[in-house]
Structure 1
Amino acid sequence: MSAVSVEELKVQLNLDHDLDDALLSSKIDAAEAYAAGFTGVPIPSPCPAAIKQAVLMLASYWYEVREAALVGGNAYAVPYGAHDLLQPHRAWVV
């Protein structure tokens, strides 16, 4: 089960249509994979609020910024704060 639903992401993005549901779902999948890869562990169930917020931020950002290049602004691969939310859940291997 996903940590974030399409409906939750639509609220985050303030979307009121169903036209992009498949795209939103793929952004959620990518964001959850990124979060799990960054932390080094699968997303737990129930999902902690910080991880859920990071997934929402990542999916929203990747929905809004769909191009690899940006002219006239600051391009970020990951939205500011996402790593800060995920950091406490990171599994460190020594």
Structure 2
Amino acid sequence: MAIVSLADQKAHMRVDFNDDDALIEDQIYAAQAHLEQLLGYEIETEFATVPSDLTGAVMQLAASWYENREATSGDVPGELPLGMWDIVRERRNYTF
């Protein structure tokens, strides 16, 4: 289950139409899966209450992918949105 609802994501992105709902939901799931891969754990199993920084990171990443649908562009840096690595660094599960 996604930690971000479709309604919350659409409000975050200021999307007020329903034509892209399936696309936005797919991007929410993909963003959460990508973040979990970087963190090394499933967010919902790690926390009883999901921290707002992780919810925000999923929303930010999904919004970035929605706005920049091409792999490369002159305006799109090929990197995670600003602040994402800070969240990952603070929350990552390191194992050695």
The aligned amino acid for 1:48 is: P
CA contact (8 A) 1:35 1:55 kept: yes
CA contact (8 A) 1:53 1:85 kept: no
**Where do residues 8-87 of structure 1 align in structure 2 (5 Å cutoff)?**
8-44=8-44, 45-71=48-74, 73-87=75-89
CA-atom RMSD in angstroms:
1.2
Deviations 1:4-38 (A, max 9, x none): 01111101110111110000000001100011101
Gaps of 5+ in 2: none
CA contact (8 A) 1:50 1:86 kept: no
CA–CA separation in structure 1 for the residues paired with 2:27 and 2:94: 26
Following superposition, which runs of at least 4 residues in structure 1 exceed 4 angstroms of deviation? Answer: none
Q: 1:77 aligns to what SS in structure 2?
A: coil
State TM-score, norm by structure 2.
0.89
CA–CA separation in structure 1 for the residues paired with 2:24 and 2:89: 25
The aligned amino acid for 1:37 is: Q
Quote how far apart the aligned CAs of 1:77 are: 2.9
| % identical aligned pairs | 32
Q: 1:24 aligns to what SS in structure 2?
A: helix
CA contact (8 A) 2:68 2:76 kept: no
State TM-score, norm by structure 1.
0.91
